[in-house]
Structure formats: structure tokens, C-alpha cells
């Protein structure tokens, strides 16, 4: 700062001269600074967790589509089915199986997880965006079917089956996109059961938008990180339970 | 290239201090720093950061001033709200009040002028450094600074009279 700048400050009312000087020199609270630096250091970890979750979803979608196409090809080649109908049939079987496995896993996992210790409430995750996508997907299929097939030829049973599928699918999607985090006696519950001994480490990221990042033991690197957004006021309780039940090093 | 941790350890504290000078409020500072570094992280991963200091100054300053303006539009200018919960000496409380009045006045300035003023008077940057951060010419820096000071002088006097009343 040159003399002109200082000269300008001297023209100001005294209380403002002092205020500028204090603002310039006043140190921030050291604990807050340290906390902030730790939080931004953790950004990489949270971003990595979200990116891996997105990668998992994409890989799964590709796998399901390939399986769908393979099944359709078999039905068309071997039995002469209409391609769209065959595709819908295979999708129906696969997705209904996936829903059933998901629902079973949800019920069975909760039994294994033991009694509820702390319910952190419903958490709207970033996957909520997939709900409108699913709606769009269904609408496009509906339009294609209505536009290319004679509904009277198909008959009421397949149409009812498709309706059941759509409703089940939407319910399942809804369940996935607004899962709750629960601390239970034998581990955590978040879209599935995570026993205490499978938690390798955990950390907190963020202040206003708090995220619990868990690194779980496992051999598939893409499936190891779990990011769970949490209300900030629940942090002390969740942290105390994690410390009491796991033996990892917290690495914020 | 340094790791993200090293990058944050080097540039995080100065960024926080910049936000602190403008906002003087712990929670707001932490939010501003975190939002800024989220954006910086994307650039960091893409390897697009050439001048980290200038970039961080620009992003943090922009977000902090934005937060300051929002705070004002939300009727957040009552200085009593920012005083520590624990009662302190009267003089200290008045100093804090002056600082908050100064910040409220800065929030009244147009963005470019506010930014140039803060970089000069709070951060102690030279005209050349400000030109680099703001990506403007030296003349534009001088002009913005001149206008900012003139406007601040205008705003400070009535504010002081109101305060004394």
C-alpha cells in the first residue's frame, strides 16, 4: 500500500480508520480456520465417493442393458417374438427380480442389523434426480408400445403386468432415493446393512451440508466408499456411536 | 503437481483469512471457503489452475462479498447480532460495531469496486496484483479504487452521524 492509500484512510472519520486497520490485521479464530481447512481437504474424499457412486450406477445400467439385449436376441431368434415385446418381457423379468432381491435384502438386512439405536431420519440423496428420469423412461416406453402395437392383440394380462411393474419400480426407486440412515445394534443401515466390523474408517465433510464418508472393507474399490448426507445437529450422536462401536482412525 | 491436501494446506489458511476480513463471521467464512474450494477442486482435478493465488483471491472475494450483500438484504446489518455472546468491555463492543458498519457499507458498493477496495485495503495487494486477480488493466484498478473511496466517504459520513445520534 502506498502513501496515497494511507493518506486516503487518514481523511476518514477516526472510528472508520481504526475499523479498517483492525479488519486488516485482526486474526480469525484459529480453531475455525483449522476446521475449515480440514473440511476443504475432505472435499476430495467426498467428491470421490459421489463419483464412484455414479460410476457404479452407470456400470450397473450398462450391464443390465447388455443382459436385456442378449435375452431379447434369444427370444426373437428362438421363438420369433416381436422385438419390442421380447425386450419388454426380458426387462420385466430382470427388473422384477431386482426389485424382489432389493426388497428382500432390505427386510433381511434390518433383521440382521438388530434393534434401532438412532434414526437419523429420511435423507434425500443426490439420486433423487433419477426419479424423474425413471418417469421419462417409462413414458417413452409407453408411447412406443401404444404407437406400434395393437393393444387388443396384447390382451389385458400383459398390460396389467406392465402396470404392476411400473408401480413396483417407482416404489423401489423412491425407496432408494430417500433412504434413511439408522444406527442399529450391529451396524449402520443405509440402503442396506453395514456391520460394524466392515467399517474401515470414516470422516466428516462439510459444515452446513454435512456428509459422513465411510470407507468399508472389501475387495472392490468402487464399492468401498459410501457418502451419506446428514443433518448437522446429529453429528455428535452419530460420532459417539461410531467411536463406541468401530475401531478405525477418523481421517477428516 | 502437489496433492490436494498440500494445496489446501498452503492456500486454505490465506483464503480463510480473506473471507474473515470481509465477513468477520465464523459460519459464513467456513461456508464461503468451502464453496470456493469445491469449485477450485474441479479445476484442480482438471489441471487447470495456473495462478492459484489469484484464482483463490478472486473466487473467495467474489463469494464473500456476495454473502455480505445477501446478509445485508436479509436485514442482517444490526451490529449487535455479531457481538460475542459473552459480554466484553464496552470499547471492544464498539470496535466490533464499527467493523460491522464498515462491512455493511462495503456491501453497498458495486461488486468490482468492493472487490478492488478489499484487495487493496484488507489484503494489502499492490495495484499490479489486483489487476492480475481481477483480470483488468491498471487504469481500471485505479478508477475502481477512486470511485470506491469516493462512494465510501459519502456513505461513511451519514452512517457516522446516524450512529452518533
Confidence of residue B65 (pLDDT cuts 50, 70, 90): very high
> Residues with Cβ < 8 Å from A248, sequence gap 6 or more?
A199, A200, A201, A202, A215
| A3 Cβ under 8 Å from any chain B Cβ | no
The phi and psi torsions of A127 (rounded to 5 degrees) equal: -75, 0
A19/B121 Cα distance (integer angstroms): 11
Cβ under 8 Å to A: B residues 84-123: 95, 98-99, 101-103, 120-122
Convert the pLDDT of each residue in A8-45 to its tens digit: 666 666 767 788 888 888 888 877 777 777 777 766 66
The label of the residue with cell 450422536 reads A237
E strand map for chain A: 116-122, 180-184, 187-189, 193-195, 199-205, 210-216, 225-230
What sign does the dihedral A89-A90-A92-A96 (CA atoms) show? positive
Complex ipTM: 0.73
* Residue predicted with more confidence, B82 or A58: A58
**Contact between B30 and A35 using a beta-carbon 8 Å cutoff:** yes
A126 closest CA partner among A65, A57, A37? A57
Mean pLDDT, chain A cut into blocks of 10 residues (252 residues total):
58 74 82 75 64 70 84 88 80 81 83 85 57 67 67 69 76 71 86 82 69 71 68 81 72 40
Quote the mean pLDDT of chain B.
81
Using a CB-CB distance cutoff of 8 angstroms, which residues of chain A are in contact with residue B34? 36, 39-40, 43, 206-207
pTM to 2 decimal places: 0.51
**Res A42: pLDDT:** 67
**Residue B76 pLDDT greater than 50, yes or no:** no
**Res A250: pLDDT:** 44
Q: Give the nearest partner residue to B33 out of A5, A9, A36, using CB atoms.
A: A36
| C-alpha cell recorded at residue B62 | 467474489
| A30 Cβ under 8 Å from any chain B Cβ | no
**Res B114: pLDDT:** 92
| B17 Cβ under 8 Å from any chain A Cβ | yes
Using a CB-CB distance cutoff of 8 angstroms, which residues of chain A are in contact with residue B152? 12
A23/B100 Cα distance (integer angstroms): 10
| A45 Cβ under 8 Å from any chain B Cβ | no
> Residues with Cβ < 8 Å from B72, sequence gap 6 or more?
B104, B107, B108
**Residue B55 pLDDT greater than 50, yes or no:** yes
**Res A50: pLDDT:** 63
B103 closest CA partner among B34, B161, B29? B29
C-beta separation of A238 from A120 below 8 A: yes
| A223 Cβ under 8 Å from any chain B Cβ | no
Convert the pLDDT of each residue in B111-164 to its tens digit: 899 999 999 888 888 899 999 988 899 999 999 988 988 888 888 776 556 655
**Res A51: pLDDT:** 66
C-beta separation of A76 from A83 below 8 A: yes
The phi and psi torsions of A118 (rounded to 5 degrees) equal: -145, 125
**Res B104: pLDDT:** 87
**Cα angle at A83 between A80 and A88, to 5 degrees?**
120
> In Å, what is the CA distance from B1 to each residue of A47, B5, B6?
19, 11, 10
**Res B60: pLDDT:** 92
> In Å, what is the CA distance from A245 to each residue of A183, A196, A200, A210, A249?
10, 6, 12, 21, 12
Amino acid at each position: 500500500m502506498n502513501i496515497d492509500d494511507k493518506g486516503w484512510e487518514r481523511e476518514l472519520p477516526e472510528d472508520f480508520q481504526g475499523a479498517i486497520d483492525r479488519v486488516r490485521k485482526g486474526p480469525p479464530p484459529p480453531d475455525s480456520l483449522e476446521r475449515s481447512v480440514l473440511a476443504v481437504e475432505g472435499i476430495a474424499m467426498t467428491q470421490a465417493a459421489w463419483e464412484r457412486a455414479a460410476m457404479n450406477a452407470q456400470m450397473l445400467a450398462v450391464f443390465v442393458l447388455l443382459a436385456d439385449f442378449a435375452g431379447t436376441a434369444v427370444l426373437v431368434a428362438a421363438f420369433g417374438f416381436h422385438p419390442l415385446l421380447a425386450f419388454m418381457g426380458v426387462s420385466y423379468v430382470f427388473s422384477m427380480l431386482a426389485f424382489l432381491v432389493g426388497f428382500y435384502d432390505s427386510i433381511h438386512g434390518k433383521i440382521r442389523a438388530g434393534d434401532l439405536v438412532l434414526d437419523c431420519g429420511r435423507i434425500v440423496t443426490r439420486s433423487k434426480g433419477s426419479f424423474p428420469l425413471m418417469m421419462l423412461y417409462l413414458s417413452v416406453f409407453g408411447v412406443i408400445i401404444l404407437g406400434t402395437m395393437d393393444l387388443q392383440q396384447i390382451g389385458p394380462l400383459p398390460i396389467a403386468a406392465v402396470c404392476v411393474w411400473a408401480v413396483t419400480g417407482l416404489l423401489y426407486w423412491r425407496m432408494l432415493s430417500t433412504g434413511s440412515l439408522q444406527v442399529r445394534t450391529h451396524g449402520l443401515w443405509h440402503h442396506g446393512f453395514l456391520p460394524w466390523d466392515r467399517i474401515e474408517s470414516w470422516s466428516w465433510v462439510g459444515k452446513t451440508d454435512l456428509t459422513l464418508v465411510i470407507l468399508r472393507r472389501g475387495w472392490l474399490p468402487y464399492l468401498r466408499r459410501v457418502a451419506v448426507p446428514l443433518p448437522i445437529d446429529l453429528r455428535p450422536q452419530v460420532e459417539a456411536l461410531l467411536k463406541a462401536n468401530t475401531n478405525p482412525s477418523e481421517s477428516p | 503437481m502437489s496433492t490436494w491436501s498440500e494445496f489446501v494446506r498452503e492456500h486454505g489458511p490465506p483464503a480463510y483469512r480473506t473471507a474473515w476480513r470481509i465477513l468477520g463471521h465464523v459460519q459464513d467464512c467456513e461456508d464461503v471457503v468451502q464453496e470456493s474450494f469445491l469449485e477450485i477442486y474441479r479445476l484442480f482435478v482438471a489441471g487447470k489452475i495456473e495462478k492459484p493465488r489469484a484464482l483463490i483471491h478472486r473466487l473467495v472475494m467474489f463469494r464473500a462479498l456476495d454473502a455480505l450483500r445477501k446478509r445485508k438484504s436479509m436485514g442482517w446489518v444490526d451490529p449487535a447480532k455479531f457481538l460475542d455472546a459473552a459480554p466484553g468491555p464496552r470499547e471492544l463492543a464498539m470496535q466490533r460495531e464499527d467493523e460491522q458498519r464498515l462491512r455493511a457499507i462495503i456491501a453497498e458498493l458495486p461488486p468490482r469496486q468492493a472487490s478492488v477496495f478489499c484487495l487493496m485495503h484488507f489484503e494489502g495487494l499492490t495495484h499490479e496484483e489486483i489487476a492480475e486477480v481481477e483480470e483488468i488493466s491498471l487504469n481500471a484498478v485505479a478508477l475502481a479504487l477512486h470511485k470506491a473511496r469516493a462512494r465510501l466517504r459519502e456513505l461513511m459520513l451519514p452512517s457516522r452521524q446516524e450512529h452518533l445520534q
